[in-house]
Amino acid sequence: MSTGKGFGKTILIGDQFVLWEVPAILSAIPFETECTVERLESGSGWILEDNRIEVPGYKKAKEKDSSASFDRMVEVMGLDLEKNPIKITVAGDLLAGSGVGASAAICVSFARACNQEFSLGMDILDINHVAWEGEFGYHGLPSGLDNTVSTYGGVIKYRIKDENAELFNQRLATVKSQVEDLGQALSRGDLKETGRIMNENHKILIDMGLSHEKLISLCDKANSLGAYGAKVTGGGRGGYMVALTPGKELQDKVAAAFEAEGIATIRATIGGKPTDSTSFQILK
């Protein structure tokens, strides 16, 4: 029996613009999915026990996607589950819901557990690749954002290269510039500037129809309570926003105000716990 883990995530800037070669900066959060792989004495294939906490209905809605994802990863890793059937158990403190990298965290944790259980000899690049393959089951053509930060942890600047890029309109050029500026601000510890850029980026997402009224209201509320910045995070019109609230006092103030209105919150720190103790890195 072997166990692997994968981080959840939030996107600070860039979002799905990465598909047009615009860089993104994203962060792991200190919540993880844990996957245990246990060999069975009889049967064939795999069975799943999903013990994650969830947004109501999420796991049921993702059953077919999850099955396709596991089947794809099993094939990519070359596992013979007719001879070596397994039970997959997933749990952990990462909420199963849209916008926090839940599917990527399952893929990463499963790849790590199988790597250990079957002595596959995969390195971290291989783990990331298997997890990216698993994301096809959920997203069709995944950008690679979620599985990468789920694998590596920390704060990552991410860019897809060698794509057939279309001509960028003014908004895309602005986002590209914002990514560079936010990366510099984050590197020098200027959280006020980081938050300001997040706010400006959210305005662009609103103009492009990639946010919605509820999230706009929540971002405005967070800023009015003292957050340095706030924006939608994830796959466009999704159910999450992220607010930059340095320090426990400010974080508790903003979170408590949301919770008083029945709005669920996740209190996290930027970067989670990176695997190599590097708090901010640029992968090329």
Tell me: the pLDDT tens digits for 213-270? 888 999 999 999 999 999 988 754 456 899 999 999 999 999 999 999 999 899 988 8
Lowest mean pLDDT among 49-58, 78-87, 155-164, 202-211: 155-164
pLDDT reported for residue 277: 61
Which residue, among 147, 149, 136, has the nearest Cα to 73 in the 3D structure?
Answer: 136
Q: What is the pLDDT of residue 212?
A: 79
Q: Taking all residues of the chain, what is their mean pLDDT, rounded to a whole number?
A: 88
Torsion angle of C-alpha atoms 88, 94, 100, 103, degrees rounded to 10:
0
- Which 3 state secondary structure label does DSSP give 229? strand
Of the chain, the percentage scoring pLDDT greater than 70 comes to 89
The highest-level CATH class for domain 2-158 is: alpha beta
Q: Give me the residue label for tokens 């990366």.
A: 183
Domains 2-158 and 170-259 share a fold: no
Which CATH architecture group holds 170-259?
2-Layer Sandwich (3.30)
Question: Model confidence at 167, in pLDDT bands (50, 70, 90)?
Answer: very low
For residues 46 and 70, is the Cβ–Cβ distance under 8 A? yes
Higher pLDDT, 169 or 49: 49
Structure-model confidence comparison of residues 126 and 212, the more confident one: 126
Answer for the pair 58, 15: CB distance below 8 angstroms, yes or no. Answer: no
Q: Which residues contact 173 (CB under 8 A, 6 or more apart)?
A: none
List pLDDT tens digits, range 72-111: 999 999 999 999 999 999 999 999 988 899 999 999 999 9
Give mean pLDDT, residues 59-84. Answer: 93
Query: Computed from CA positions of residues 88, 91, 97, 100, in that sequence, does the dihedral angle turn out positive or negative?
Result: negative
Q: Average of pLDDT values for 52-67?
A: 92
Q: Where are the domains of the chain?
A: 2-158, 170-259
**Average pLDDT score over residue span 47-51:** 96
The neighbouring-strand residues paired with 47 are 87
pTM of the predicted protein model: 0.70
